[in-house]
Structure 1
Amino acid sequence: MDGTRFRRTIARTPLAPVAAFPKRLLRVARHDARVLSVSARWLLTSREHHNYTYDLTRLSREHLAWFVSVLTDTPVKQVRDYLAEIESDQALRQHIERTTATSARRGLADRQVRYARRIGWYAIVRATRPAHVVETGVDKGLGTCVLASALLRNAAEGHPGRVTSLDINPEAGYLARVEPWAGVVDLVIGDSIASIRALDRPVDLFLHDSDHSAGHERNEFEAVESKLSPDAMLLTDNVTVTNVLAEHAERTGRRFLAYRETPARHWFPGDGIGVAW
């Protein structure tokens, strides 16, 4: 009896689980070894303790391009050009590196610039050309700079816009306090719900990225609803944790899509982008 026939015979007997165990163990061990290797490297080389930054795998980046293409009804080639545009923006990259290196919080920030799913935010803003973007949760201001860069490009093409960035931490947004990016950013320090209620102009694109509890996320979407322009788009950075935006979309008669990113060379499983429109 050859090896193949022998294995097939064993597979039909009570010994099958025992015979398969070494192969299963080897696969698990290889997977865990890769995870441990990546985790150990991150612990030794990274300073980040939250809001982790990383690159996307090539496949994940391509899926993101198609996600934005479908969402905004933009040819995928054009979306790929938008993604390349932000990734090749040397002025922004050098600004982030320099500012991070001299920041009082540099002990908890990596100098290397890695945008992850934020390149999707950029492409959405480039494709939809919103006049007013509102983001909640600023932290260092990396995402704010990405949004501002898209708005500056839009303005150069005749479609000006601004981003209102809300955070409760008075130290937030240090990356976005430098021109030219600061020229299109209104940084508001305070409770996000109160700040949303105080907005005095329509919101074309709203991004939740603050307190990631389901209750707070829900309160933000409910608070901004009366501030939205007719064709406004709602985004959440919380899509891998809650179903809040999907439920809000169903309740308000909108469509919903979700994208989950895959980080390259990182132990973190990644976040994503949820969109209702």
Structure 2
Amino acid sequence: MDATKLRRAIARTRLAPVAAFPKRLARVARHDAKVLRASARWLVTSREHHNYTYELTKLSRHHLSWFVSVVCDVPVGRVRGWFAEIEGDDELRRHIERATAEAARRGLADREVRYARRIGWYAMVRATRPAHVVETGVDKGLGSCVLAAALLRNADEGHPGRVTSLDINPEAGYLARTAPWSGVVDLVVGDSVASIGALDRPVDLFLHDSDHSRAHEKREFDAVEPKLAPGALLLTDNVTTTNVLAEHAERTGRRFLAYRETPARHWYPGDGIGAAW
């Protein structure tokens, strides 16, 4: 009996799991070895302790470009152009590197600039040209800078806008406190739900990226709903762990789509973008 017939014969017996075990073990070991190598490299080379930054895999970038294209109804080629635009913004990159090196929290931040899914945020702002963006959760302000850079580009093309960045930590947003980006950023310190309730102008694009508990995420979307401008775009950074925005979209008659990023050379499995429009 040749090897193929033997394997097929064994597969029909109770010995099949035992015979398959070495191959299954080898596959798991190869996967775990990759994760362990990435983890060891990160532990040695990175300073970050949360809000990890990384590049996306090539395939994940392709998927993100199509995600933005569908949500914003723009050609995918334009989306790729906006990705290249933010990644080629040398002035912003140098600012982030310099501000990170000089910050009081520099011991817990990497100087290398890596935007990951935030290039999707940038492209969405470029595509929709919002007059008022609201983001909850600021941390260092990397996302705020990305949003501000998109708004500045829009302003150069005759479509000015501002971003209201909400965080409960008074030290948050140090990357976004330098001109020209600070010129379009309003940093507000306080509870995000209360701050949303105090907004005095319509919101064209809303991004949840603060407390990632299901209850708090729901409170934010409920609070912002009456503040939204017609045709507003809702985004969440929490889409890989909750279904809050999808449920909100269903209740309010919107469409919903989710994207999950894949980090390149990193142990962290990544976050994503949920969109309702």
* TM-score tier after normalising by the smaller chain length: over 0.9
Q: Distance in 1 between matches of 2:169 and 2:23?
A: 51
Matched, 1:192 2:189: no
Matched, 1:36 2:43: no
SS at 1:219 equivalent: helix
Identity %: 81
What do residues 199-243 of structure 1 show as CA deviations (whole Å, max 9, x unaligned)? 111000000000111111111111111110011011000000111
What do residues 44-82 of structure 1 show as CA deviations (whole Å, max 9, x unaligned)? 111111101000000000000000000111000000001
Q: Distance in 1 between matches of 2:19 and 2:213?
A: 46
Structure 2 counterparts to residues 77-226 of structure 1, below 5 A: 77-226=77-226
Q: Distance in 2 between matches of 1:235 and 1:24?
A: 39
Indicate the residue corresponding to 1:271 in structure 2.
Answer: 271
Query: Normalising by structure 1, what TM-score?
Result: 0.99
Give the RMSD, CA atoms, in angstroms: 0.6
Q: Distance in 2 between matches of 1:95 and 1:239?
A: 30
Matched, 1:228 2:247: no
Name the amino acid aligned to 2:98: R
SS at 2:61 equivalent: helix
Name the amino acid aligned to 2:66: W
Query: Normalising by structure 2, what TM-score?
Result: 0.99
Indicate the residue corresponding to 1:15 in structure 2.
Answer: 15
SS at 1:22 equivalent: helix
Q: Distance in 2 between matches of 1:15 and 1:201?
A: 69
Large movers: runs of 4+ above 2 Å? none
Indicate the residue corresponding to 1:24 in structure 2.
Answer: 24
Indicate the residue corresponding to 1:70 in structure 2.
Answer: 70
How far apart are 1:169 and its partner, in Å? Answer: 0.4
Name the amino acid aligned to 2:198: A
Name the amino acid aligned to 1:86: I
How far apart are 1:193 and its partner, in Å? Answer: 1.0
Structure 2 counterparts to residues 55-66 of structure 1, below 5 A: 55-66=55-66
Q: How many residues align?
A: 277
SS at 1:67 equivalent: helix
Q: Distance in 2 between matches of 1:22 and 1:189?
A: 56
Q: Distance in 1 between matches of 2:208 and 2:2?
A: 60
What do residues 109-152 of structure 1 show as CA deviations (whole Å, max 9, x unaligned)? 01110001000000000000000000000000000000000000
Q: Distance in 1 between matches of 2:165 and 2:57?
A: 29
How far apart are 1:4 and its partner, in Å? Answer: 1.4
How far apart are 1:99 and its partner, in Å? Answer: 0.5
SS at 1:230 equivalent: strand
Q: Distance in 1 between matches of 2:213 and 2:31?
A: 31
**Unmatched runs of 5 consecutive residues or more in structure 2:** none
How far apart are 1:266 and its partner, in Å? Answer: 0.5
Q: Distance in 2 between matches of 1:184 and 1:272?
A: 25
Q: Distance in 1 between matches of 2:135 and 2:149?
A: 14
Q: Distance in 2 between matches of 1:44 and 1:261?
A: 24
SS at 1:134 equivalent: strand
SS at 1:166 equivalent: strand
SS at 1:42 equivalent: helix
Q: Distance in 2 between matches of 1:19 and 1:194?
A: 61
Q: Distance in 2 between matches of 1:248 and 1:15?
A: 50
**Unmatched runs of 5 consecutive residues or more in structure 1:** none
SS at 2:49 equivalent: coil
Q: Distance in 2 between matches of 1:224 and 1:4?
A: 62
